Amino acid sequence: VLGIRFPIRHRLLSGYSSFMSDSAPSAPGAQNPANDLKKKQKAEEKALKVAKAAAKKEQQQQQQKQQQEKKEAKDGAASEQPKKTKEKTLRLKEEFVNTTPKGEKKDMSAPMASEYNPPAVEAAWYDWWLAKGYFGPEINKDAKESFVMVIPPPNVTGALHLGHALTNSVQDSIVRWNRMSGKRTLWVPGTDHAGIATQTQVEKNIAKESGLTRNDLGREAFVEKVWEWRNQYGHKIINQIKRLGSSVDWDREYFSMDDQCSAAVKEAFVRLYREGLIYRDTRLVNWCCKLKTAISDVEVEHIQLEGPTYLSVPGETKTYQFGVLVHFVYKVADSDDEIEIGTTRIETMLADTAVAVHPEDPRYKHLHGKFVQHPFFDRKIPIILDSELVDMSFGTGAVKVTPAHDPNDFKCGKRHNLNFITFLNDDGTLNHNGGPFQGMTRFQARAAVLESIKEKGLFRKTVPNPMAIATCSRSRDIIEPMIKPQWWVDCQSGAKEAIEAVRNGSLEFTPPHHKDTWYRWLENIQDWCISRQLWWGHRIPVYRVSIKGNPLDDVRDSWVCAYTQEEALSQAVQSFKDRYDQADISVVQDPDVLDTWFSAALFPFSVFGWPNVTEDLKTFYPTTLLETGHDIIFFWVARMVMMGLKLTKQLPFKQVMFHAMVRDAHGRKMSKSKGNVIDPIDVIEGITLEGLHESLVNGLLDPKEIEIAKQGQKKDFPKGISECGTDAMRFALCAYTSQGRDINLNINRVEAYRNFCNKLWNATRFALSNLGTDFVPKPNTNLSGTETKVDKWILSILNDTITQVNEGFKAYDLSLATTSAYNFWLYNLCDVYLEAIKPTMNADVSVPENAQKKRTSQDVLYTCLETGLKLLHPFMPFVTEELFHRLPQRPGSKIESISIASFPQLVNEWDNKPIEAEVKRVQEVIHAARSLRSQYTLTTRVPVYARVNSESTLELLRNYSDLIKVLAFASEVQIIDKTSATPEGSAVYIVDEMIEVFIVVRGAIDFIAEVQKLEKKNVKLIGDMQTLIKKMSVADYDKKVPENVRKQNSEKQVALQQEIETTISAIENFKKLGGI
């Protein structure tokens, strides 16, 4: 059963039964037959023991089963009760009353609390920062360098989610680092009107509250309702941004439909129109029948189907089948021939205007130039030859062509000058071109057309067809390709400029691999449809000319573009006065609005007052960095670059940083309907499962979606989400950020960083108690010359940390920066240095040498705290500000806030790589001793021995024996040479060929109890292994079980095998040591 063996790093030794040879070790690769025989015998003995234990386990299980069956027969109890597990305690936000007047500095005179409490720590600081003006560019106004960034504006449709929290956490960390690094820093905040998303939300809300539609209200009243919604939820979003600690300049806050942005949008449109870059054309668009508007590609979501699948469709009372190819035939006109066609949308055959075959396909050469008869209309459809559209090897090699309802067919129709027949109304019902099916919905028509084809004898078969269904992300309706007259932007010249900007290095990408995506997309760019059939948004500044109230034909010459209606009428009169009486000419503004991304593309300069040449525009444009998700590289980043180059003749920013996308712990995209969308405030404050459920009910999900979402929440958050605080959440999100990769966010990890905050709190509290109330730090960080080796070591490590954190920020590698700062605090300062100086802090200071040593360590400790807090501040602004104000200030310091303190820089004097190497070697010994203590669950101090194989190592470890004693929790430490005997009753950990570490366990362990405990554990392990092997031995295991599950099972088997081996070895050694 247990055929895999693993080396055990350490083993037990005794004076009377040693497992180590006194002779010199064999050369690598040398063979020893006697040893091989012993190993074989030992393996056989272990295998026998495992088999016996397995038999014993099986016998016990049989007995338990019989007992259980008797019990069930007696009282009808359930067959197997679930195991009781220790329930996790849900921690929620504690009520805290902030007594600090708004905008004033927090009173820090009260004693420091015994533990970290996020609400108390976070209170008052943000309002004070705002009152002091720390977030404006006036701080560091004389700096030679500037750092400017415009916030990617969140949609005004509701509350922020963790994706926004990631964006804000990453950006604010970068902004705070630049501000602390002495640059003139500006981060401009704002929100986006989000045309289609907001209109959809408000329409749902109105329908829920009053049962009315926007058409019932009328355009003007409806837009007023949307403004009310914006005023309500816009403030909620702003407050959330503030809760996150974002150090934006609120004096420059923008909204994408405020007067300044609206003026910029109108100016940009008019300029591009008059240059001929905006034009009117009738083309195929993504049409949402429920919303009755065209939508952009970014608002289209795809559902992957593996085969036949029934889906519900908005507005329909029944489900419809997707994922199938319906095969039917067209009869060749004036012939007995027929052509078999396969289609996933049988209803679109009503608008077919051709059947295409490949010109080289021998099956259809005799049909070249002929026609097929449409079965529902008196029209003949040409058989055309098209090598681009048709793949001879797919299906029947014949393709129905519906130019007005399919992107590929549209291109084919243009190539062959086919008729374009639209058979759908805007709401998805069939128009007069639907013939006998007019008035039906498109999916009712799908079923009806199929039935009629069967009745006519034209149906052949239905076959499964894996496919992707395009849906509207806002309404969940099935997208319908439709031909509509729309306004378009010619992107060809702009794309070339954008490509060249990246190629020549003017625009930098982090990570750089996104360049390939940039080139690939822009080299194949299509023109941009910018009109939307909505009421909420920037009304397009074009006006259609009418004569006596009758609109002219929808062609370019029938439209005028102007800043105002008066100007538009003047242009129309000027253009048409020779043909019509001036009194008969009028203009009506296009009811459509612009795509939201049009105004978003102008943000880098519109927020600074463009097209006016304002002081802000001259000072802060172009900006320094755009930080955003890689999912909108086309929809936003590329368009900002093209608009900036076209309208301002400059790149809008110099660098682009693409952050990761936040997914749930299972790697799924966050979706309200799945119940995995997390409000950052819920992470900050904590929330019960019932609270999570309530947030769904208060939303606008359908009842069915609410129940599915509740189940998702219950699975992921059985009790709810524990309070983590803002700092822990921010730190977790930044630590998760590995450039450009997706984040599978596990809330448990955020909670772990909450514990880290508590560690910071306790470490600072401990340090302050050792500094004393009368401690006054040195005016500088220069070395005094009295530092111990451990003092020098921690400063050298701090220096390394400073370098790594700064390098992380410079490279936008926040994972490096957070990891470095975290490791310094947790593993170096707390785990090593604070423990190492305890004897010094507790020494008798009446002895001058002790007093000097203590003062030196106090200075070093203060420097570590001061510098360490500054390193963490960009990520954890609240707790670091709080703790910073607990520290005494250096003489002459005028730093009011850590947020404007200078960020730590490399101190050459601290660098000490030789001592780092020494302590690293010593830590290996400490780690060995601690591992042995953990392995044998020792709770008392025991002697620790280190046997070394060289004089230099002997001297090194003896110099650090005091440190080893403290950190290894030893009663005594002895460094012995290679000739020394093995300590009796000891366990050994072989560090390497130079060092062996022993701890004396005899007398510190109850061997009989340990053996019993390990034997009980081993029985369970073997049972777990049997269960796993049985699971992995089922028929067709490799086929039925997913690869990731099989991998997990294999890894679990290896881990169980290793644990069984280790347990058996420990049992044997305990028995020998204890004489059992």
pLDDT at position 93, please? 86
Backbone phi, psi, residue 115, to 5°:
-150, 160
Ordered alpha helix ranges (H), 76-161: 118-122, 125-132
* pLDDT tens per residue, range 196-208: 889 988 998 899 8
Q: And the tokens for 656?
A: 């682009």
Residue 1002: CB atoms within 10 A of its CB come to 17
Q: How confident is the model at residue 939 (pLDDT cuts 50, 70, 90)?
A: confident
Confidence of residue 703 (pLDDT cuts 50, 70, 90): confident
**3-state SS assignment for residue 846:** coil
**Which CA distances in Å does 935 have to 50, 155, 987?**
22, 54, 10
Nearest CA-CA partner of 775 in 895, 889, 884, 896 = 889
Contacting residues for 436 by C-beta, under 8 A, at least 6 apart: 376, 452
> Residue 632 and residue 650: Cα distance in Å, rounded?
21
The pLDDT score that the predictor gives to residue 676 is 74
Predicted confidence at residue 982, as pLDDT, reads: 86
Residue 331 phi, psi dihedral angles, 5° rounding: -80, 130
Q: Is the pLDDT of residue 709 over 90?
A: no
Quote the CA–CA distance of 3 and 7 in Å, as a whole number: 14
In sign, the C-alpha dihedral spanning 1065, 1066, 1072, 1076 is negative
d(CA 429, CA 1013): 74
pLDDT, mean of residues 1042-1046: 85
State residue 657's pLDDT score: 94
Tokens standing for residue 63: 């007995």
Per-residue confidence (pLDDT) for residue 675, from 0 to 100: 64
671 pLDDT band (50/70/90 cuts)? Answer: low
Q: What is the mean pLDDT of the chain?
A: 88
Q: Are 853 and 155 in contact (CB under 8 A)?
A: no
860: confidence class by pLDDT, cuts 50, 70, 90? very high
- DSSP for 721-768? E----HHHHHHHHHHH--TT--EE--HHHHHHHHHHHHHHHHHHHHHH
Distance separating alpha carbons of residues 50 and 2, to the nearest angstrom: 8
pLDDT grade for 15, boundaries at 50, 70 and 90: very low
For 849, counting Cβ atoms within 10 Å of its Cβ (0-12 exposed, 13-18 middle, 19+ buried), the class is exposed
- Give residue-wise pLDDT tens across range 795-837: 999 999 999 999 999 999 999 999 999 999 999 999 999 999 9
**Tokens, residue 707:** 């129940």
Average confidence (pLDDT) over 24-32: 34
Q: What integer pLDDT is reported at residue 47 of this predicted model? A: 44
Stretch 1053-1061: mean pLDDT, rounded?
Answer: 91
Least confident of 896-900, 971-975, 1003-1007: 1003-1007
pLDDT-derived band at 29 (thresholds 50, 70, 90) equals very low
- Please tell me whether the overall predicted TM-score, pTM, comes out greater than 0.85 for this model: no
Q: Which of 20, 15, 116 has the alpha carbon at shortest distance from 990? A: 20
Q: Report CA dihedral (829, 861, 856, 805) to the nearest 10 degrees.
A: 70
pLDDT for 361 equals 96
User: Which of 591-595, 605-609, 710-714 has the least mean pLDDT?
Assistant: 710-714
Place of tokens 């390709």: 481
Cβ atoms 296, 597 nearer than 8 A = yes
What whole-number distance in Å separates Cα of residue 578 and Cα of residue 558?
A: 15
Q: Is the distance from CB of 558 to CB of 545 less than 8 angstroms?
A: yes
Question: Tell me, what's the pLDDT at 672?
Answer: 60
pLDDT at 700: 58
CA-based nearest residue to 791, from 854, 844, 748, 850:
854
Residue 699: band (very low, low, confident or very high) from pLDDT cuts 50, 70, 90: low
d(CA 317, CA 444): 10
Q: CA–CA separation, 650 vs 642, rounded Å?
A: 10
CA gap 958, 977 in Å, rounded: 11
Tens of pLDDT, residue by residue over 1017-1032, are: 999 999 999 999 999 9
* DSSP at 473: T
Which amino acid, residue 505?
Answer: G
> Which tokens is 200 given?
């959809």
447-455 long-range contacts (CB < 8 A, ≥24 apart) are: 447/320, 449/346, 449/347, 449/349, 449/350, 450/326, 450/346, 452/375, 452/376, 453/328, 453/346, 453/375
DSSP per position, 1058-1075? HHHHHHHHHHHHHHHHHT
Indicate the DSSP class of residue 424: B
The larger pLDDT score, comparing residue 554 to residue 432, is at: 432
Quick: pLDDT tens for 368-415: 999 999 999 999 999 999 999 999 998 899 999 999 999 999 999 999
pLDDT tens figures, 62-98: 444 444 434 333 333 333 333 334 456 888 888 888 9
pLDDT value for 1007: 81
Instruction: Give 166-180 pLDDT, tens digit per residue.
Output: 999 999 999 999 999
Phi, psi of 49 (to 5 degrees): -65, -40
Measure the N-to-C terminal CA separation of the chain; round to a whole number of Å: 27
Per-residue pLDDT at 674: 61
Please say if the pLDDT value at position 183 is more than 80: yes
